[in-house]
Every structure is written in C-alpha cells, then in structure tokens.
C-alpha cells in the first residue's frame, strides 16, 4: 500500500508541475491546464480511498482524518461552484489568485 500512495503522489506532482517544463504553446500543456480540476478531483478521490483502506490503530484518529478530508471535499466543491466557476476560473487558478480561498479547501491543496 505505501508504494501505491507514493506512486500516486509522484504522478500528481509530475502532472501538476509538468506545465512549468513544457513549452507554452504545447498541446499537452494546454490539456493539463484545461483539466486541472479533473486532476485535482482524481487526487482527492485517491486520498479518500487511501483513508478508507489505511490501517490506523487509534480509530478516533482515523475517523478525524476522514472527517477532515470530507470537509476538504465539501469546501472544494463549494469553492468551485460558488467562487471559481462564476469567476470563469478553475479551482486551482482561483485559489492561486485568491489565497484566502485556501481556508475553504483545507490542506488538500497544501501537499
């Protein structure tokens, strides 16, 4: 299981930062930029699955982390529907331009 999570994290970092290393007019760079919300959603879903499958000896800690993840997901959804979409941005770009919005998504974007 740790290798799976490591692979997911590595893939997310590579995809997320690859636009910095690709030419500006690259179709791959454009595709990644247009699908940032989808990439973020897949990462959040992967984290949620990991939190379901992980074994933690103290049940209360696991439940707390799962509840915080659920709050992050709800905050991300609210940020997208109420703030980013009306502004014509994706969630990631909106939070980059409005750093106080990170309070709505919690630590999910701070990895």
pLDDT in tens, 56-73: 889 999 999 899 889 988
How high is the pLDDT of residue 14? 64
Quick one: the chain helix, strand, coil %, rounded to 5? 85, 0, 15
Return the pLDDT at 3.
Answer: 47
Angle ∠(20,46,107) on CA atoms, nearest 5: 65
Residue 25 to residues 17, 28, 29, 111, Cα–Cα distance (Å): 16, 9, 7, 28
User: What is the chain's mean pLDDT, rounded?
Assistant: 78
């Amino acid at each position: 299981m740790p290798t799976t999570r490591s692979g997911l994290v590595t893939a997310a970092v590579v995809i997320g930062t690859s636009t910095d290393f690709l030419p500006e007019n690259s179709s791959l760079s454009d595709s990644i930029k247009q699908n940032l919300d989808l990439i973020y959603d897949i990462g959040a879903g992967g984290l949620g699955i990991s939190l379901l499958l992980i074994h933690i000896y103290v049940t209360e800690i696991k439940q707390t982390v799962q509840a915080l993840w659920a709050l992050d997901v709800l905050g991300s959804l609210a940020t997208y529907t109420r703030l980013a979409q009306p502004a014509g941005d994706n969630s990631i770009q909106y939070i980059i331009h409005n750093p106080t919005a990170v309070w709505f998504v919690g630590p999910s974007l701070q990895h």
